[in-house]
């Protein structure tokens, strides 16, 4: 089929290029991490899933600010590569790798035991690790894989590190949510996900992001007066490896569209860095920070205190916190 003549005109091509450039420039928010002068000398930060994407750029930013940075990664090989690259780029030798698989509660407990044994303080905890497009699967601990990876693992990790965070206060906890959290639903009778009908599985990622946002809000309420603040962030639509579990066709479409419209991983890290280090975010608690680093209201599904408490209690049960008390 022949294109209309105006589409083949050089002016049309030029306008398309200009529009693409404008769209790319508009992806940046009003707050820029590189202009923030916050210094993290003497402070310790943990970033989960820090070997790539948003997590790596967050860890890189913290290292530039002279923090002691712990990259909590599932893959030793990829985690060590990222650690070495961050050290080389920043000159900060106080960057370390510690193995963590958030889909395994045993791995979470082993990780936190090492941290509590080796670290004297924890100023920033960034729950960044997560995945979408994972196949439906039940872990050896009886938890559905996506539920465990995206929510129950980070929930347990945070709970087990609360004592250290309180002793280090003022300290900050950040959960990476998503603008898609409003499309999710919460069934507190099936928080472990193992009875989930497979034909309803396609919205599991959204459900876990809703749970992240709700539990961040509930934890913020519980942490009032301790000096520990808890917030959730929406990084926006970001070009990361989050699509690695999808088909080649879907990844290709995502990458082509994303080149013009989506944020880079560095741009997507801005809202997390804003919550973690900025003076503007000091004292913020129980808030949801949008991709342009502004406070917005999350979905109405996060606003019911009774539901929030019930979800929290279901998460405690699913992660056996009652039989394995925190230190």
Contacts of 282 (CB under 8 A, 6+ apart): 170
- How many C-beta atoms lie closer than 10 Å to residue 231's C-beta? 27
Is residue 167 within 8 A of residue 121, CB to CB? The reply is yes
Catalytic residue flag (residue 288): no
Is residue 286 within 8 A of residue 292, CB to CB? The reply is no
| Strand 124-127 versus strand 95-99 pairing type | unpaired
| Calpha distance 300→49 (Å, rounded) | 29
Dihedral sign for Cα 160, 52, 184, 30, please. Answer: positive
Catalytic residue among 201, 205, 246, 288: 205
| Calpha distance 227→44 (Å, rounded) | 16
Query: In what helix (H) or strand (E) does residue 96 lie, and over which residues does it extend?
Result: strand 95-99
Catalytic residues: 205
């Amino acid at each position: 089929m022949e294109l209309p003549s105006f589409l083949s005109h050089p002016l049309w091509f030029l306008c398309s290029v200009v529009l693409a450039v404008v769209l790319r420039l508009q992806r940046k928010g009003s707050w820029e991490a590189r202009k923030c002068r916050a210094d993290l000398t003497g402070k310790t930060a943990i970033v989960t899933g820090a070997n790539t994407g948003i997590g790596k750029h967050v860890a890189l930013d913290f290292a530039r600010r002279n923090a002691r940075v712990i990259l909590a990664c599932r893959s030793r090989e990829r985690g060590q590569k990222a650690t070495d690259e961050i050290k080389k780029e920043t000159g900060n030798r106080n960057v370390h790798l510690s193995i963590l698989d958030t889909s395994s509660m045993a791995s979470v407990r082993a990780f936190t035991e090492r941290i509590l044994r080796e670290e004297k303080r924890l100023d920033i905890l960034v729950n960044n690790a997560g995945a979408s497009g994972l196949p439906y699967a039940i872990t050896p601990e009886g938890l559905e894989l996506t539920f465990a990876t995206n929510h129950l693992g980070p929930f347990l990790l945070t709970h087990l590190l609360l004592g250290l965070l309180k002793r280090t206060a003022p300290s900050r906890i950040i959960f990476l949510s998503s603008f898609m959290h409003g499309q999710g639903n919460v069934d507190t009778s099936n928080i472990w996900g193992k009875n989930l009908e497979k034909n309803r599985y396609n919205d599991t990622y959204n459900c876990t992001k809703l749970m992240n946002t709700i539990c961040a809000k509930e934890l913020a309420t519980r942490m009032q007066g301790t000096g520990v603040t808890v917030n959730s962030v929406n990084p926006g639509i970001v070009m990361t490896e989050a699509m690695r579990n999808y088909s080649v066709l879907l990844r290709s479409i995502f990458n082509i569209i994303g080149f013009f419209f989506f944020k880079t991983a560095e741009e997507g890290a801005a809202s997390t860095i804003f919550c973690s280090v900025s003076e503007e975010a000091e004292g913020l608690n129980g808030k949801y920070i949008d991709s342009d680093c502004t406070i917005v209201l999350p979905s109405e599904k996060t606003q019911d205190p009774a539901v929030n408490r019930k979800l929290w209690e279901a998460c405690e049960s699913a992660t056996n916190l009652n039989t394995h008390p925190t230190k």
